[in-house]
Amino acid sequence: MSFFENTRKPAGFGGKLMVVMMNLGHSPVAWWGLHFLELAPDDKVLDCGCGGGANIRRLLKKCPQGIVKGIDYSPVSVEKTKKVNETAIADGRCAVLQGSVADMMFADNWFDAVTAFETVYFWPDLPRCFRE
């Protein structure tokens, strides 16, 4: 798999490097975007395409009594996100699942907010994914 293909769905050793780079490289735009997101301390948030897990960690800080879940279709991304957020997972405040944004398993209207950082351009059938 080429280096740039690993931006879509990180896999293997190159994918492990990619998710570390995502956590660093996406930080400026993530901080900027999160500045506009008003969350209550106990909100429930979903991060679609959670990548390396850094944004889930930021969301957990914004809602310290809330729950943050992440979904990504890359096993490498899910593994890294779980590692970055292992304390919150152990505390029951975070869950990270492998799956597609095109077919999510979450109950309707369960989340107070849904985020997606630098990922929607990879989604199949964008209108369907947004409806989901």
Q: What pLDDT is stored for residue 26 in this prediction?
A: 74
Q: Is 118 exposed, middle or buried (0-12, 13-18, 19+ CB in 10 A)?
A: middle
Domain span at residue 97 reads: 4-131
Which positions ≥6 away from 129 have C-beta within 8 Å? Answer: 101, 102, 120, 123
DSSP 120: G
Q: Which two tokens stand for residue 102?
A: 């095109």
- In tens, the pLDDT along 35-87 reads 999 999 999 999 998 989 999 999 999 999 999 999 998 899 999 999 999 99
Q: What CATH number is attached to the domain comprising 51?
A: 3.40.50.150
**Rounded to 10 degrees, what is the CA torsion of 66, 72, 76, 80?**
-10
With H, G, I as helix, E, B as strand and everything else as coil, classify residue 69: strand
Total count of domains within the chain: 1
pLDDT band, residue 7 (cuts 50/70/90): low
Q: Can you tell me the distance from the alpha carbon of 104 to that of 132, in angstroms, rounded to the nearest whole number?
A: 7
∠90-95-101 over CA atoms, to 5°?
170
Q: What pLDDT is stored for residue 115 in this prediction?
A: 94
Please name the helix (run of DSSP H) or strand (run of DSSP E) that holds residue 67, with its range, or none: strand 67-72
Q: What pTM was computed for the model?
A: 0.84
